[in-house]
Structure 1
Amino acid sequence: MLILGVDVISENPKRFAVVSWFNGRLERKGEFTLYRLIRFVQSKRPDIVAIDSVTELGDDLRKFLRALPGGTKLVQVTGRPGEQRSLQSLAREHGIRVVDRFDPYEEAKLSALLASKGVGYEVLAFEDEVVIKVTRGRSPGKGGWSQDRYRKRVHNLVRDKVREIGERLRRAEIPFDLEVEEKDYGLARGEFKVYAKREELAGLIKPMRGGDVEVRIQPVERAELGFAPLKGEEAVRGRKSIIVGIDPGITVGIAAIDLNGRVVALHSERNMLVGEVFRFVSNVGHPVIVATDVNPAPGFVEKIARSFKANLFVPRESLRVEEKNELLRNLGINVDDDHQRDALAAAYKAYLRLKPKLEHIDARLREAGLTGKADEVKALVIQGYNLGEAMQRVTLRERPGEEGEEPEERVNVDLRPYMRRIRELEKRIEFLERENAELREIIKEQRKTIGRLERRIADYDEEVRRKVLRERELEAKVKRIEVLERELRDAKDVIARLSRDLVQVKRMNVVEARGSAVPLKVLRVLSWRELERIEREIGLRKGDVLFIVNPAGAGKAIAEELVERGIRALITEKPLPEPVREVLREAHVPFFTSEELDVKRVDEFAVVERERLEEAIEELLSRWEEEDKEREAERILRLVEEYRIERVKELRRRAEEERR
């Protein structure tokens, strides 16, 4: 085991004295700046960096904690903030000789030696949570079919990596939550919230960079630093030992009772993080047991127990509501909500399990005259010490703080019964070790079975996936059939309409063949583009009769073009614009509406009865001829009248000149 003791030499510039402790051997390493100290720690990867107070790192404390390699702890040997003791008194208590209290190297040496004995508190900068993000390694970009195939392949790789990580965590029995974003029958992203320290994932999950899939592992940093004892026995000294019940969920319930069964804290709050729960419990006391009311224990509760190095209490089966209410009636306590009830019931159930042992300890302590240290002895027994060892540790600590003074009183305890018990337990340990080896072989076989079953499950999952894909493909085909059926119905309707039109066209052809009808060339609008279309498709010859569906917007130019092409007549569904009418009237090109001639029209075909057309044209031209004659006569009369008037004026003017 390698421990580095550190103490500050100067503040500006900040320099540190470093002493190493390696399996009992001390060595002075020299003077380091903060940057060189970080590099040295990263290269040596010690188990512990020990310091008498983390305040000596100042504003660089967080930076130093982030730079620590995995598995390296920063330990404040003098205790928790607010409960710290001097380095020298701790050294004397643990039998370490103090030479020069003002020498930084001596202070660093004392820190290393105390940490080697399990004295001090680990500084916790990160929650017992790790976020694992699985994402695409690169953007698929834009593209066609090949780009789509590549994108689907990457999303399938992300899905497979998420499954692999989930299986590894489950196999290692590490609790976690998972959020995913689905894409292309695969996953675009997966995010694990793992309830474990980063060190617990070493060798289990590896980060990946630079490929199609990226895996990033990020520990969750605490808002406030936490302090956890290196050894559980150190935490019970001078602090109230408690049993804590926790009810996790959206609303977290916390209950704490002391080792005499008295309730000391009840609390519930929504969305409490692990660090907030840790700090709340730390302010109440040091938990020797963390309890839950359900079996198996939630990962949240396991994590709190690990953080405090406390025993975890799990009932044989989950507590029923009636049992919880009965426990609270026995306590005579009223709670604010169900979360406080569940937490208090868990803590009290754990206390009742320990009550006979705790009462036995009280009786033995009264006989030994150690009733004042009952809480500390009980805590040590709960942590695994036998009663004799716990009493011996407590009595050995009963010494003044100043070196050289003798303790005021000593308590003589007969340790022979406990030594016999220790030998019995050692034999028991040998038996359990053999049994443990046998059970390890059984576990190995069971793991092989589990691996075989997991492969079968993976094959089954693949079969289910194929089945789902087939069902989706079938669903897509059903939808496609429905679309085609609608298109078929629409096509049948079109065919039926066209059939009716065809019958009408045939009738029109018969009429045309008999010579009793004149075919019309149909234009949708009267425009240059439509004129070009009809010219291109069927041609436009002199003497044609045109049928215009909508002549609105036409002008004189296109009307003059029609006159120039020599059309015989123009038939429209709507009235012609006035400029067009004037041009056609001037050129004596007849124009009519479809209602006047009873035009028969089917889509792009239209006919009119020849006899009716000829009569209409003849009648219109005759009317125009009469109108032209009348207009010419009026023009001549108007010219004669104008001549007469001018002649009278001329004669009057000459008469006046003669008189003058």
Structure 2
Amino acid sequence: MRVRPILILGLDVISENPKRFAVVSWFNGRLERKGEFTLYRLIRFIQAKRPDIVAIDSVTELGEDLRKFLRALPPETKLVQVTGRPGEQRSLQSLAREHGIRTADRFDPYEEAKLSALLASRGVGYEVLAFEDEVIVRVTRGRSHGKGGWSQDRYRKRVHNLVRDKVREIEDRLRRADIPFDLETEERDHGLARGEFRVYASREELAGLIRPMRGGDVEVRIQPVERAELGFAPLKGEEAVRERRSIIVGIDPGITVGIAAIDLKGNIVALHSERNMPVGEVFRFISEVGHPVVVATDVSPAPGFVEKIARSFKANLFVPRESLRVEEKNELLRGLGIKVEDDHQRDALAAAYKAYLRLKPKLEHIDAKLRDAGLSKKADEVKALVIQGYNLGEAMQRVAARREDRRPEPRQEESGSVDVRPYLRKIRELEERIEFLERENEELRGIIREQRRTIERLERRIADYDEEVRRKVLRERELEAKVKRIEVLEKQLKEAKAVIERLSRDLVQVKRMNVVEIRGSAVPLKVMNVLSWRELERLEREVGIRRGDVLFVLNPAGAGKAIAEELVEKGIGALITERPLPEPVREVLREAHVPFFTSEELDVKRVDEFAVVERETLEGAIEELLSRWEREDERREAEKVLRLLEEYRLERKKELLRRAEEEARAGRKT
């Protein structure tokens, strides 16, 4: 299988004012210095090259331009902070040593950019998440309709129909791709003035599925939803395992999302359910608990929502062979000895615990091996690496190697070398300080979680004490909703009255037409919108066409000889149109002596799908037209006879001349 080439750009700031960057590229193992770039030139360079990753040691170096930089990145390009997530960052040099990368001058921006690119190429770092896994897709008209009469009305209706068709096309594509979404539309002229999709997917998932459109009758704009705060996702699962607690997460998607998390010893560490919980909030909730190495579901096949969470964390996806039954879920929870608040928490916890039971024999085997190797303190880290695909030996070697790397390097005394012992002592002090702060941070997180639970409990008590106020607020909201409903109904009533008034006028006209038809003084016309085969079939199917019928066509444009010959064959009495007939149709009807007129010539009266014409007017027009055609035919016939006589006379004259010449030649010979 051919592997797609990977392009990574490493960045480091050279100067702040003006801001300039050192750029080094990594392309399938080959490093190349690209030079210095201003922010504007750097953005244009990235948009032209479209790299897979832009790596930097800290996104704070972009300062106030960070959001602008993230918005300008192509959808497939990731911004990666290689030193880790905020609050857990490590130096580039220590990361390079850990991954066997040689370092040089740490004050050289190009050296720093090179290290960032090399570390990112090995899966080190955290992707900066600036956008939610939600995208707004807006479909609107592209041009203003302008002011005017009938032509502008037809153009406006056409554009609204195009907007409706584009909305239906996007809706169909999203459904076939099994991507969840919400849709809001604004109806206009039996079409749509606008449509707005809230698609629960990332920009990358929509690439190639929905394309933006600008400058035509219909515009399609795609706008990703920005996060209020930046998120950080591990570029490779191994990096998160080293720094954070590994967990198994069960998810029950739906209107109410259930989340359960257990550690690799089978202990429950989080249980939560929330209504209308967005994907980004689910991601953040799980990130606060730990790093998931397994994401589990209780149904088979796995829902797309669960697959998205697993892909986001680079975690393994656990799907049972068949969907878990309610009895089986309850049995699993009885084994845990815990009660849940609702069915969503039950389903999520059952999925997580089912995945743990599937892994339990392997995890117990790992515990036994680690006790023999003296690595019991790093059991979770080794287990997580094995779950991610490493064999036990490789996982133990990696963890042991990291322990060796963290020991102080032996002092090497060389002639004229710098005494590094003070720096080593400072590094050890800082590492101890970091370890202390991490423990303190974890304790503070526990305090925060406890305080949140206390706040929730107090809020429930306040809600109980303030029940009367709550009911009052509810009544006011209900009243406000009813007032809005009344306004909507009044608007609908006004529109209905307008429709009734128009229909009443049309009914009066229809009655007059019926009276005229019953008296025999009018001829009913069979109406066609356009002169086409499909419309002709519809008319035959719904009404029927008999010999002598008079047809009334609103728009004959585009018709040809074939359909005109079909009308002649059916023996229609006459054809009336609102616009002039195409020349091929006129020729066929004229040749067959089938009368045709425009509605202005006969004063056609029409209401919706009904039309009549005065019998006396129609018969008089037909008689006059046929008489004129008869005179024209007689004149053409006479001209034809005269033309034939003239041709005969000329031929006869030529024949006599030829004979005379032959006789003269014969006389000369004798």
Answer yes or no: same fold by TM over 0.5: yes
Tell me what 2:90 maps to: 85
Task: State how 1:296-311 maps to structure 2 within 5 Å.
Answer: 296-311=301-316
Percent identity, please. 85
Aligned equivalent of 1:247:
252
Letter in 1 for 2:44: R
What is the CA–CA distance in structure 1 between the aligned matches of 2:348 and 2:126, rounded to whole Å? 27
RMSD over aligned Cα, in angstroms?
3.2
Quick one: which of 363, 367, 379 aligns to 1:362? 367
1:517-544 Cα offsets, whole Å, 9 max, x none, are xxxxxxxxxxxxxxxxxxxxxxxxxxxx
Partner of 2:436: none
Q: 1:403 to 1:316 in 2, by over 3 A?
A: same
- Residue 309 and residue 180 in structure 1: after superposition, are their counterparts in 2 closer, same or farther (change >3 A)? farther
1:256-312 C-alpha deviation (Å, 9 max, x unpaired): 111111101122334332222212211111011222334443333332222112222
Shift of 1:316: 3.8
Taking the aligned partners of 2:147 and 2:392, their CA distance within structure 1 comes to 72
**What corresponds to 1:347 in structure 2?**
352
CA–CA distance in structure 2, aligned partners of residues 140 and 37 of structure 1: 41
1:208 aligns with 2:213: yes
Please give the alpha-carbon distance, in whole angstroms, between the structure 1 residues aligned to 2:189 and 2:302.
37
With over 3 angstroms needed to count, the CA separation of the structure-2 counterparts of 1:365 and 1:178, relative to structure 1, is farther
Q: Does 1:28 align with 2:38?
A: no
Q: Which amino acid aligns with 1:391?
A: M
Classify the secondary structure of the residue corresponding to 1:397.
helix
After alignment, is 374-383 or 384-393 more displaced? 384-393
Q: CA deviation at 1:88?
A: 0.8
Matches of 1:159 and 1:92 in 2, distance apart? 59
Mapped to 2, the partners of 1:364 and 1:258 lie a distance apart of: 19
1:198 equivalenced with 2:203 (yes/no):
yes
Deviation at 1:59, TM superposition (A): 1.5
- Give the letter aligned to residue 300 of structure 1: F
Report the residue type matching 1:365 in the other structure: L
Paired with 2:380 and 2:325, the residues of 1 have a C-alpha distance of: 31
1:223 corresponds to? 228
- Tell me the secondary structure at the aligned position of residue 111 of structure 1: helix
Change over 3 Å in CA distance of 1:235–1:141 after alignment to 2? same
Letter in 2 for 1:179: E
Decide whether aligned partners of structure 1 residues 299 and 145 sit closer, same or farther in structure 2, where only a CA change above 3 A counts.
Answer: farther
Partner of 2:183: 178
Q: Does 1:162 align with 2:170?
A: no
What's 1:393 paired with?
398
- Does the residue aligned with 2:406 lie in a helix, a strand or coil? coil
Q: Deviations over 1:535-561 (max 9, x none)?
A: xxxxxxxxxxxxxxxxxxxxxxxxxxx
Structure 2: how far apart are the matches of 1:180 and 1:356?
Answer: 54
Map 1:362-511 to 2 at 5 A. 362-401=367-406, 404-405=409-410
> How far has the Cα of 1:77 moved from its partner?
0.7
Aligned counterparts of 1:103 and 1:263: Cα–Cα separation in 2: 48
Q: Does 1:273 align with 2:278?
A: yes
Distance change in 2, residues 1:136/1:89 (3 Å): same
Residues 454-505 of structure 1 deviation map (CA, whole Å, 9 limit, x = unaligned): xxxxxxxxxxxxxxxxxxxxxx99x9799969x99xxx9xxxxxxxxxxxxx
Report the residue type matching 1:68 in the other structure: L
Q: 1:152 aligns with which of 149, 157, 163?
A: 157
TM-fit CA distance, 1:216: 0.9
1:42 corresponds to 2:47:
yes
Cα drift, residue 48 of structure 1: 1.4
Letter in 2 for 1:137: G
Question: Does 1:103 pair with 2:101?
Answer: no
Shift of 1:370: 3.0
1:233 aligns to 2:238 (yes or no): yes
Corresponding residue number in structure 1 for 2:72: 67
Deviations 1:355-409 (A, max 9, x none): 2332333333334443222212222222233333333333333323367459xxx
Q: Do structure 1's residue 134 and structure 2's residue 146 form an aligned pair?
A: no
Task: After TM superposition, give the deviation of residue 142 of structure 1 in Å.
Answer: 5.8
CA 252–27 in structure 1, closer or farther in 2 if over 3 Å, else same: same
Change over 3 Å in CA distance of 1:184–1:317 after alignment to 2:
farther
How far apart are residue 32 of structure 1 and its match?
A: 2.6
Q: What whole-Å deviation, never above 9, does each CA across 1:30-68 have from its counterpart, x for those lacking one?
A: 233222322222232222111111111112111111111
AA partner of residue 59 (structure 2)? V
Distance (whole Å) between structure 2 residues aligned to residue 275 and residue 50 of structure 1? 23
- 1:188 to 1:354, Cα distance in 2 relative to 1, 3 A: farther
Q: What amino acid maps onto 1:345 in structure 2?
A: A
Residue 115 of structure 1 and its aligned partner are, at CA, apart by: 1.0
Given that 1:89 and 1:401 are in contact with CA atoms closer than 8 Å, whether structure 2 keeps it comes out as no
The structure number with the bigger radius of gyration is 1
Kept in 2, the 8 Å contact 1:128–1:303? The answer is no
Q: Spell out structure 1 runs of 4+ moving beyond 6 A.
A: 479-483
- The DSSP-based 3-state class of the residue aligned with 1:400 is helix
The DSSP-based 3-state class of the residue aligned with 1:15 is: strand
Amino acid in structure 1 at the alignment position of 2:157: K
Compared CA separation, residues 98 and 270, structure 1 to 2 (3 A): same
The 1:171/1:391 distance shift into structure 2, 3 A limit, reads farther
- 1:14 maps to 19
| Counterpart AA for 1:76 | Q
Query: In 1, Cα distance between the equivalents of 2:212 and 2:324?
Result: 41
Aligned residue pairs total: 421
Deviation of 1:16 (Å): 2.2
CA positional deviation for 1:250: 3.9
Aligned mates of 2:377, 2:265 — CA distance in 1: 14
d(CA) in 1 for partners of 2:353 and 2:364? 15
Is residue 314 of structure 1 aligned with residue 335 of structure 2?
A: no
Gap change, CA 1:482 and 1:249, over 3 Å in 2: farther
Residue identity opposite 2:401 in structure 1: L
Show the 5 A alignment for 1:112-123.
Answer: 112-123=117-128
| Counterpart Cα distance in 1 of 2:177 and 2:33 | 41
Superposition pairs of residues 591-606 of structure 1, within 5 angstroms:
none
Q: Call closer, same or farther: CA 1:145–1:298 in 2, change over 3 Å.
A: farther
Aligned residue for 1:388, secondary structure, equals helix
Change (3 A) 1:384 1:191: farther
SS in 2 for 1:237: helix
Contact kept? 1:195, 1:300, Cα under 8 Å = no
**Following TM superposition, by how much is the alpha carbon of 1:71 offset from its aligned partner in structure 2, in angstroms?**
1.6
Q: Judging changes above 3 Å, is the alpha-carbon distance between structure 1 residues 363 and 187 closer, same or farther for their aligned structure 2 residues?
A: farther
1-side partners of 2:244 and 2:219: how far apart? 46
Alpha-carbon distance between aligned partners in 2 of 1:482 and 1:377, rounded to the nearest angstrom? 84
Give the CA deviation at 1:27.
Answer: 2.3
The residue that corresponds to 1:53 in the other structure is: 58
Q: CA–CA distance in 1 between the matches of 2:398 and 2:406?
A: 16
Contact 1:251 1:270 in 2 (8 A): yes
Residues 610-646 of structure 1 deviation map (CA, whole Å, 9 limit, x = unaligned): xxxxxxxxxxxxxxxxxxxxxxxxxxxxxxxxxxxxx
> 1:114 Cα shift?
0.8
Q: TM-score, normalised by structure 1?
A: 0.58
Closer/same/farther in 2, CA of residues 305 and 276 from structure 1, 3 Å limit: same
